[in-house]
Structure formats: structure tokens, C-alpha cells
A and B are shown apart, each in its own frame.
Chain A
Amino acid sequence: QQPVQSPQAVILREGEDAVINCSSSKALYSVHWYRQKHGEAPVFLMILLKGGEQKGHEKISASFNEKKQQSSLYLTASQLSYSGTYFCGTAVRGGGADGLTFGKGTHLIIQP
């Protein structure tokens, strides 16, 4: 079942913060976050495994609440380069056994 992402779109000014949420009705093993620019490949941002960990990558971090089967991606002090569509991909089994099921994406537009 497809994870639900929110919001669908968000427009920010450079330097502002954003939070993108991803929730699933299934028990998840992992949540993968990607950013995709139009016509390009999804670029891996980070992976979170069940266990409620939080990870960071430059000014981008994420958390995974295993009890709620929810993950959130945090973008702080956004830069123009952060513009794109953010997808969460979920897997119910570990070890790469599953193909990821992606949410519908969150369109992020950063304005100068």
C-alpha cells in the first residue's frame, strides 16, 4: 500500500525551514528519502530503519517513528538547490528484498 506524503507542495523562501511527512498503514522495515528534479534520477538522501532513529545529511535530517509508522524529513535553512520533488519510499522487509513503494511526492519550490 502506498505511503501518504504531506504536504503535496510547499513554497519557501531561501533560508526557511520545511517538514515533509510520510506515513504508512503497514509495518515498515525502512524508509528511504529521495529528491528528484524534473527529468532526472531520484537522488538518495537517507535511509531510516525501524528503531526510531534520526539521521542527518548536511542541513537535511529525518526521523522514523516506528510506533506510528511515520517518517519526517526536515529541511533547515533551505537553499535554492533543495527545490525538487521529495519522495519517501518504504520497504516492509529488510535486506533490499522489497522494491520500494513510493509516495506521490512533495513538490518543494525554493524562491530567492
Chain B
Amino acid sequence: AAGVIQSPRHLIKEKRETATLKCYPIPRHDTVYWYQQGPGQDPQFLISFYEKMQSDKGSIPDRFSAQQFSDYHSELNMSSLELGDSALYFCASTQRRSSGNTIYFGEGSWLTVV
């Protein structure tokens, strides 16, 4: 079965550079979530989109932005990168239903800021 696809899997950037992460949700999933997970930490919710509109907002820094496109894929744009942005970034997706929804995670994108 198709899963959530993230790219790139690994990324190394220098401080103050920009980075873009891409996420392709499971086919027919209309909702995408972005999470950030630091070493030894729990995943922190950043932002989500439903039908190309922002649905919920978590602890996303102002330096970060995201959007969902017409084909439902999503991109997380990170600017003015800081050392503390080094983390594993997960994208997750679901298909909204009125009662309960299973949220599936992608393999993640490792971002290292040096």
C-alpha cells in the first residue's frame, strides 16, 4: 500500500540558509500535518492543511511557512535556519471522516543545520 512520501530524506544546511521539505500524502488523503521531532523528544505539531487551506496551527516558528497544493502535496519552507532547527521533520496524512481518522506518518526528513 502507498505510504506518505517525504523528500529529501536527509538535508544539510548552513545557518541562515533556507530549506524546503516536500510531502506527498497517501492517495485520497486530504489532510496533511507537519511535525518536528528533536533528538530524544516527542513529535511537536507545527501546522496542518485540509483541502489546501490551513486547518490548525501549532508551534511553527514565524520563519517557517507551509502550503498545500492542488494535488494535495505539501511543502514546508524554512528560512533563516538556526542550529536549533536541526531535527527530524515528519509529514503525516489522513482522510477526514466524521468519526475517527487514522493518521499515518511518513519516514521523515532529517535536517541538520551546521
Residues of A within 8 A of B (CB): 2, 30, 32, 34, 39-44, 47, 49, 87, 89, 94-105
Contacts and interface: CB of A to CB of B under 8 A. Distances in A.
Contacts of A30: 100
B98 A95 contact: yes
Interface of B: 31, 33, 35, 41-48, 50, 55-56, 58, 88, 90, 94-108
A49 B42 contact: no
A111 B16 CA distance: 44
A41 B98 CA distance: 26
B45 A101 contact: yes
Closest CB pairs A-B (n = 3): A99-B45, A96-B101, A41-B105
Contact of A32 (B45, B46, B95, B103): B103
Contacts of B103: 32, 44, 89, 96, 100
10 contacts: A41-B105, A44-B103, A44-B104, A96-B50, A96-B97, A97-B56, A99-B46, A99-B58, A100-B33, A102-B42
